[in-house]
Chains A and B, each alone.
Chain A
Amino acid sequence: AQSVTQLDSQVPVFEEAPVELRCNYSSSVSVYLFWYVQYPNQGLQLLLKYLSGSTLVESINGFEAEFNKSQTSFHLRKPSVHISDTAEYFCAVMTTGSYQLTFGKGTKLSVIP
């Protein structure tokens, strides 16, 4: 069975500072990896995904994540955060051929003006 660990439950960061949200996964088979964002009182929106190919994936709003197979990690980064990035971020993993998406417990990113 797969599992996901998000090491930080809360990350406060000042506006325009860089941020990294950490995600590690555990699986005995190949995986697909996802980051979802949840703004207050809303559903989850896909931020970016790693399926195959280049290990560095980017979103349209400046986030990027790098798949590191040896460290079983998929950390999310942004070089300069905005107030509007304040949200809960969820890392998720799906093993190939599985029906099931397993989520981490989420990291609350709070951007301080």
Chain B
Amino acid sequence: DTAVSQTPKYLVTQMGNDKSIKCEQNLGHDTMYWYKQDSKKFLKIMFSYNNKELIINETVPNRFSPKSPDKAHLNLHINSLELGDSAVYFCASSQAAGSNQPQHFGDGTRLSIL
């Protein structure tokens, strides 16, 4: 009964490839997020969707494209992977954007670019 689940947990691939990370939440939340955690553990918001609508789009290369088919899913597609994309990517969800309810995080996807 995992609340926020991401797949895959580990992703090892070569430079230039295209890959996707999937995220699903079964909490009934309206808002979902993608964060990037670098090697120094710094967490930075990348995107946020509220009811399938993009509400946060930080300064992220165009190679990153989020897609939300429904409010329970937020996938992240990355084109032309680069060495600097190596990081841990976390999906999160919360009850509603702008509410004071905490965000619930998945276990992360560890992306390694060779």
Contact = CB atoms under 8 A, between A and B. Distances in A.
A97 to B, nearest CB: 5
B100 A99 contact: no
B38 to A, nearest CB: 10
Given A43-B107, A99-B50, A105 B98 contact: no
Interface string B39-50: 011111100101
Interface stretch (A44-52, A61-69, A70-78): A44-52
Interface residues of B, number: 25
A34 B94 CA distance: 14
Contact of B102 (A46, A90, A99, A105): A46
B55 interface: yes
B41 A101 contact: no
Chain B contact surface mostly? strand
B107 A42 contact: yes
Contacts of B98: 97-99
Chain A contact surface mostly? strand
Contact of A44 (B50, B100, B105): B105
Contacts of B55: 99
Interface in B9-44: 31, 33, 40-44
9 contacts: A38-B41, A44-B90, A46-B104, A49-B102, A51-B100, A96-B100, A100-B45, A101-B103, A105-B40
Which 8 pairs show the lowest CB-CB distances between chains A and B?
Answer: A43-B105, A44-B105, A43-B107, A103-B43, A99-B97, A32-B100, A46-B102, A106-B41
